[in-house]
C-alpha cells in the first residue's frame, strides 16, 4: 500500500527520511548490538542519544543554559497538574487564558491545587479568536499567566504574546518547532512531541532553572521538576524509543534549515488553503483572520452531512484524518512540519472537485 497524506492533529505524519533511518537502525542501532527498544537507558549509547536530542533542541530553539530541558512521559495533560504544583503554593493564584478545550482542561486541573483564575476567554464565539488579556484583569498575586499558544481544535494561534509583567507559561504542543517563538519570553514551555517533534509518548518541558525549589511532601516524586532535572529526565526509565525518534526529527529539522524554514513552509502551506477558503462561498473558515493558525486550518461546509461525505471522499483519494474534532465538527487540515506542499495541493484539488460536485445550483 502506498503512503497517504496524513492530516492528523496527532500523532501526525513524519518525514520519510526519518522513518527510513529508524527502519534501518531498528534491529541493531549502530555500535550498540541491539535495538534502541532493547537498550538500557543507563548505557553509553542511550546517554549519547538523549544528550544529542537535547543539544539539537537547544540549537533549534536558542535555549540558553539558564533553562533546563526535560523529556518526560504523561503527555501535555500531566503538565496541567505538574505546572501549578511546582510553580504555585497551595493557597496561591495562577492566571489562565481560555482559548480551547485543552486550555479548559489545564484550568480545571490547576484548580485542584490552587486558585486558578480565568482572565480572558474566547468561549463566547466558539473559540474562534485569541482574546486580549488586560493587565487590570490579572490578579496582583498571580504566580504566572498560562496560555495555549496554538489551539488545534479551533485553528487559532498567538502571533503576539502577552507581555504584562507576569511570568508566562506556554503550552506549545502544536506550535513548537513549527513557528518561531523566543523561549526567553516564557519561564516555562511544554509540548507533546506528536505534532512537530516526533511520536506520541514524549513530552518536552523547557523551564527556567530558578523555578526549581523544594516542594511539599504531598507532591508526587514524579511530578517534581527538581527531581526530574536532577535525574536528567531519567529518574525512572524514560520513553527511550520516543526520545530516539524525537532526536531523529530534531536532526531532520536542523538539516532542512531549522525552525525558521519550518515556519516558512507552514506559512506557505496554510496560506494556500486560507487563500482558497477566503475566495470560496462553499467552504467557510472558522478562525478570525488575524488569529489563524499556520498549522491547523479549520473550516465548515454547508452542513455536517457534507462534512462527513467530504472526509470519506478525501480518504478514498489518499487524504486521511481530515474530519474535525468530535467537539467541533467540520473539517480540519493539520499541516505540521512533515506535511509536504504536495499534500496541500492534492487537498486543494480535491476541495475544488468536491465543491463542483456538491454545490447547489
Domain ranges in the chain are: 16-255, 258-358
Q: What confidence score (pLDDT) does residue 196 get? A: 93
**Number of helices and strands (H, E) in the chain?**
9, 14
| 8 Å CB contact between 157 and 291 | yes
3-state secondary structure (DSSP) of residue 147: strand
3-state secondary structure (DSSP) of residue 25: helix
The hierarchical CATH code for the domain 16-255 is 3.40.640.10
What percent of the chain is modeled with pLDDT above 70?
Answer: 99
For residues 57 and 63, give the distance between their C-alpha atoms in angstroms, rounded to a whole number. 8
Q: Which of 277, 322, 269 is nearest to 295 (CA)?
A: 269
Q: What confidence score (pLDDT) does residue 329 get? A: 83
The third-level CATH classification (topology) of the domain covering 258-358 is 3.90.1150
Cβ-in-10-Å burial (0-12, 13-18, 19+) of 319 comes to: buried
Tell me how far CA of residue 93 lies from CA of 84, 132, 143, 147, in angstroms. Answer: 9, 20, 6, 15
Any residues with CB less than 8 A from the CB of 127 and at least 6 apart, and which?
A: 99, 100, 151, 153, 154, 156
**Confidence band of 317 (pLDDT split at 50, 70, 90):** very high
Average pLDDT, the chain: 95
Q: Which of 69, 85, 79, 80 is nearest to 233 (CA)?
A: 69
Q: What is the mean pLDDT of residues 236-246?
A: 95
**Confidence band of 361 (pLDDT split at 50, 70, 90):** low
Condensed to tens digits (0 to 9), the pLDDT of residues 139-148 reads 989 999 999 9
DSSP letter for 286, please. -
Condensed to tens digits (0 to 9), the pLDDT of residues 95-108 reads 999 999 999 999 99
pLDDT of 9 over the 80 cut: yes
Any residues with CB less than 8 A from the CB of 318 and at least 6 apart, and which?
A: 2, 4, 5, 346
Condensed to tens digits (0 to 9), the pLDDT of residues 318-358 reads 999 999 887 788 999 999 999 999 999 999 999 999 999 98
What residues pair up with 298 in beta bridges, in sequence order?
332
For residues 53 and 33, give the distance between their C-alpha atoms in angstroms, rounded to a whole number. 21
Q: What confidence score (pLDDT) does residue 1 get? A: 63
Residue with cell 480565568: 118
Residue with cell 527538581: 226
Amino acid at each position: 500500500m502506498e503512503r497517504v497524506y496524513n492530516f492528523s492533529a496527532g500523532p501526525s505524519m513524519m518525514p520519510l527520511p526519518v522513518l527510513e533511518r529508524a527502519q534501518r537502525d531498528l534491529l541493531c542501532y549502530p555500535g550498540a548490538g541491539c535495538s534502541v527498544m532493547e537498550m538500557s537507558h543507563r548505557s553509553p549509547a542511550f546517554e549519547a542519544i538523549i544528550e544529542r536530542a537535547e543539544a539539537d533542541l537547544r540549537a533549534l530553539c536558542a535555549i540558553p543554559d539558564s533553562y533546563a530541558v526535560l523529556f518526560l512521559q504523561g503527555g501535555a495533560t500531566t503538565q496541567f497538574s505538574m505546572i501549578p504544583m511546582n510553580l504555585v503554593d497551595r493557597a496561591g493564584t495562577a492566571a489562565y487564558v481560555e482559548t480551547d478545550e485543552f486550555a479548559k482542561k489545564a484550568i480545571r486541573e490547576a484548580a485542584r491545587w490552587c486558585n486558578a483564575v480565568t482572565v480572558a476567554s474566547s468561549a463566547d464565539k466558539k473559540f474562534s479568536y485569541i482574546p486580549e488579556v488586560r493587565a487590570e484583569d490579572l490578579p496582583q498575586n498571580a504566580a504566572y499567566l498560562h496560555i495555549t499558544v496554538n489551539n488545534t481544535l479551533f485553528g487559532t494561534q498567538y502571533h503576539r504574546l502577552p507581555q504584562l509583567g507576569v511570568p508566562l507559561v506556554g503550552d506549545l504542543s502544536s506550535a513548537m518547532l513549527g513557528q518561531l517563538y523566543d523561549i526567553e519570553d516564557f519561564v516555562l514551555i511544554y509540548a507533546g512531541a506528536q505534532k512537530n517533534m516526533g511520536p506520541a509518548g514524549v513530552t518536552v518541558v523547557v523551564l527556567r532553572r530558578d523555578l526549581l525549589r523544594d516542594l511539599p511532601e504531598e507532591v508526587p516524586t514524579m511530578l517534581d521538576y527538581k527531581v526530574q532535572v536532577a535525574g536528567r529526565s531519567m529518574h525512572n526509565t524514560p520513553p527511550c524509543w520516543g526520545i530516539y525518534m524525537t532526536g531523529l526529527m530534531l536532526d531532520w529539522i536542523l538539516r532542512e534549515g531549522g525552525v525558521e524554514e519550518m515556519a516558512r513552509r507552514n506559512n506557505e502551506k496554510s496560506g494556500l488553503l486560507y487563500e482558497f477558503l477566503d475566495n470560496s462561498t462553499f467552504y467557510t473558515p472558522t478562525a478570525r483572520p488575524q488569529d489563524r493558525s499556520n498549522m491547523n486550518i479549520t473550516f465548515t461546509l454547508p452542513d455536517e452531512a457534507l462534512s462527513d461525505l467530504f472526509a470519506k471522499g478525501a480518504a478514498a483519494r489518499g487524504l486521511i484524518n481530515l474530519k474535525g474534532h468530535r467537539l467541533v465538527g467540520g473539517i480540519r487540515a493539520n499541516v505540521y512540519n512533515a506535511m509536504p506542499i504536495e499534500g496541500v495541493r492534492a487537498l486543494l484539488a480535491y476541495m475544488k472537485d468536491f465543491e463542483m460536485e456538491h454545490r447547489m445550483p
